[in-house]
């Protein structure tokens, strides 16, 4: 007897940005394990090829794709969109973080982080929707953050600000695309064990873990499973939601 | 600016309406899929493609696609 599994991603094609990174590669693996075909993009060519090579074969019969692209470059972004097959899911996950106390913020750094974390996902979403690359019933998921949306912390003003922007944009897209049958949500992680939190010292990390009722940071998979849920038909009636995956960090 | 081209771009803003439904004399307000959201996308398309800003009142005043085409043309 065939069992209905609403969490399955069988037959779905999913674009993942930041596909070579900590969360991105875990999302890629999870999606493939749940039956999807993935299209990965990242600025890091070598890491992207490695991630692609590590994935199990696609069950759809069509090979996974990897497209190296700097999404802050309008030309590269446009080439990526044109190269994309019709998509059932999009995961806008690429992002950077740098800790700087407010009085040391430079315009250059502000612009750089904003371009990567905010402008690129907004412009990519625009182009994908405009070129009708996201199929009806499709799902768009942003990797936002607990930072900015649920709490702020010292030195993290720029990052938190960009993630607040993503939160507002995510809800706007949900509102605009709902009538067209396309959902849009975000996952909002706390600290995740990836290279992104490299700017924290070991001591800071240990201290920070005490703010987590579950006494650990997320593994990339913890976030990937949330994203997979939002991509799947199990979340068919969920749109405009910021899904906190933070081990209870924002409770206290 | 050709009306054929305008109708094509107008139609692109719809997902479920048959292409054959879009003619110069089409009363677009009566299309099942037409909504305030579609009206906004048409306003956006006109701004982007023709560099013309039209308002909600222009959308309401135009009865057919050709009426809207003429409104845009008059503002170019």
A61 versus B12: the higher-pLDDT residue is: B12
Q: Provide the b/e sequence for A85-96 (b: ≥16 CB within 10 Å).
A: eebbbbbbbbbe
- Residue A189: the pLDDT is 97
Q: So what's the architecture of A13-243 in CATH?
A: 3-Layer(aba) Sandwich (3.40)
Q: What is the pLDDT of residues A17-46, one digit of tens each?
A: 999 989 999 999 999 999 999 999 999 999
Note whether A176 contacts B37, CB cutoff 8 Å. yes
Lowest-pLDDT choice from A114-118, A235-239, B34-38: B34-38
Q: Does B37 touch chain A (CB under 8 A)?
A: yes
* Residues 6 or more apart whose Cβ sits within 8 Å of residue A170: A140, A142, A144, A184, A185, A186, A240, A242
Query: Comparing C-alpha atoms, which of A9, A3, A65 is closest to residue A32?
Result: A9
Rounded to whole angstroms, how far apart are CA atoms A208 and A196?
Answer: 15
Cα separation of A97 and A156, whole Å? 8
Both tokens of A182, joined, read 């396309």
Chain B positions touching A133 (Cβ under 8 A) are none
For chain B, what's the residue count? 76
Provide the pLDDT for residue B30: 95
Q: For chain B, say whether A130 makes contact (Cβ under 8 Å).
A: no
DSSP element (H, E) containing A139:
strand A134-143
Residue A205 confidence (pLDDT): 85
Task: State the pLDDT at residue A5.
Answer: 95
- Tens of pLDDT, residues A54-110: 999 988 789 999 999 999 999 999 999 999 999 999 999 999 998 899 989 999 999
Q: Is the pLDDT score of A237 beyond 70?
A: yes
Contact B37 A179 (CB under 8 A): yes
A131 touches chain B (CB under 8 A): no
**Using a CB-CB distance cutoff of 8 angstroms, which residues of chain B are in contact with residue A132?**
15
Residues whose CB falls within 8 Å of the CB of residue A239, separated by 6 or more in sequence, listed in order:
A174, A178, A183, A184, A185
Cβ distance A61 to A72 under 8 Å?
no
Distance from CA of A182 to the nearest CA of B (A): 12
Residue A200 has pLDDT above 80, yes or no: no
CB contact under 8 A, B15 and A180: yes
Q: Do B35 and A180 touch (CB under 8 A)?
A: no
Sheet strands (E) in A7-123: 13-17, 37-42, 65-68, 87-92
Residue A88: helix, strand or coil by DSSP?
strand
Residue spans of the domains in chain B: they are 3-75
A16's tokens: 């993942």
| Chain A residue at shortest CA distance from B13 | A130
**Interacting residues of A213 by C-beta distance below 8 A, sequence separation 6+:** A247, A248, A249, A251, A252
CA distance A250 to A146: 8
Question: Please, are residues B27 and B69 in contact by the beta-carbon 8 Å criterion?
Answer: no
pLDDT above 70 as % of chain B: 100
Residue A202's pLDDT band, with cuts at 50, 70 and 90, is: confident
pLDDT at residue A1, rounded to an integer: 61
The mean of the pLDDT values for chain A is 95
Q: Which fold has domain B3-75?
A: 1.10.1200
> Which of B15, B38, B45, B47 has the most A C-beta neighbours within 10 Å, making it the best mutation to test the interface with A?
B15
Among the listed ranges A171-180, A196-205, A231-240, which one has the minimum average pLDDT value? A196-205
What percent of chain B is modeled with pLDDT above 90?
88
Residue A147 near residue A159, CB atoms below 8 Å: yes
B32 contact A CB<8A? no
For A135-161, the pLDDT digits (tens) are 999 999 999 999 999 999 889 999 999
Is the model's pLDDT at B68 over the cut of 80? Answer: yes
């Amino acid at each position: 007897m065939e069992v209905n599994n609403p969490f399955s991603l069988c037959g779905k094609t999913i674009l993942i940005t930041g596909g070579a990174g900590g969360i991105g590669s875990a999302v890629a693996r999870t999606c493939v394990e749940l039956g999807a075909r993935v299209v990965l993009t990242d600025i890091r060519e070598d890491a992207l090829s490695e991630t692609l090579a590590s994935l199990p074969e696609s069950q759809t019969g069509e090979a996974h794709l990897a497209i190296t692209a700097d999404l802050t470059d309008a030309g590269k972004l446009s080439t990526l969109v044109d190269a994309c097959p019709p998509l059932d899911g999009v995961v806008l996950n690429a992002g950077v973080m740098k800790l700087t106390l407010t009085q040391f913020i430079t315009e250059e750094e502000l612009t750089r982080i904003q371009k990567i974390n905010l402008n690129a996902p907004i412009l990519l979403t625009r182009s994908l929707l405009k070129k009708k690359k996201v199929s009806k019933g499709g799902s768009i998921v942003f990797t936002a953050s607990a930072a900015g949306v649920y709490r702020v912390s010292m030195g993290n003003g720029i990052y938190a600000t960009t993630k607040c922007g993503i939160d507002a944009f995510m809800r706007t897209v949900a509102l605009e695309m709902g009538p067209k049958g396309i959902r849009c949500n975000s996952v909002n992680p706390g600290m995740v064990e990836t290279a992104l939190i490299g700017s924290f010292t070991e001591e800071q990390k240990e201290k920070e873990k005490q703010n987590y009722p579950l006494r650990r940071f997320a593994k990339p998979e913890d976030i990937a499973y949330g994203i997979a849920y939002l991509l799947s038909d199990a979340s068919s009636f969920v749109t405009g939601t910021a899904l906190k995956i933070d081990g209870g960090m924002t409770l206290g | 600016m050709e009306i054929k081209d305008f109708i094509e771009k107008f139609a692109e803003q719809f997902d479920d309406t048959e292409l054959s439904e879009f003619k110069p004399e089409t009363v677009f307000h009566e299309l099942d899929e037409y909504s305030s959201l579609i009206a906004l996308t048409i306003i956006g398309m006109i701004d982007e493609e023709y560099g013309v800003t039209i308002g909600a009142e222009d959308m309401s005043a135009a009865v057919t696609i050709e009426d809207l085409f003429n409104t845009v043309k008059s503002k170019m």
